[in-house]
Amino acid sequence: MFRGYLQPRSAHESLIHTRDQLRLLARLARARSESPEHVYVHPGALSGLFERTAAYVDDALATVVVDPKAA
């Protein structure tokens, strides 16, 4: 008997994209703290990364089906 959450492939892919975006943001932050004179991220580009990441999470959450027995 299944107990838990079902997630379509599209939601899984959205979560993979989210993970990748967050890793990119972490690398940018790490690079800035290690060598601030060499890294500059335009605010518009940074905003775009956050917007895409939020959209990936929205996509994933919108497709998850919860097994009522698991709740």
From first to last of the 71 residues of the chain, give the pLDDT tens digit.
Answer: 666 777 788 888 888 988 998 888 888 777 655 666 666 778 898 889 889 889 888 888 888 766 666 55
Prediction pTM value:
0.63
CB 67 within 8 A of CB 4: yes
Q: What pLDDT is attached to residue 35? A: 62
Strand locations in 2-59 (E):
5-6
DSSP character for 3? -
Q: What pLDDT is attached to residue 59? A: 85
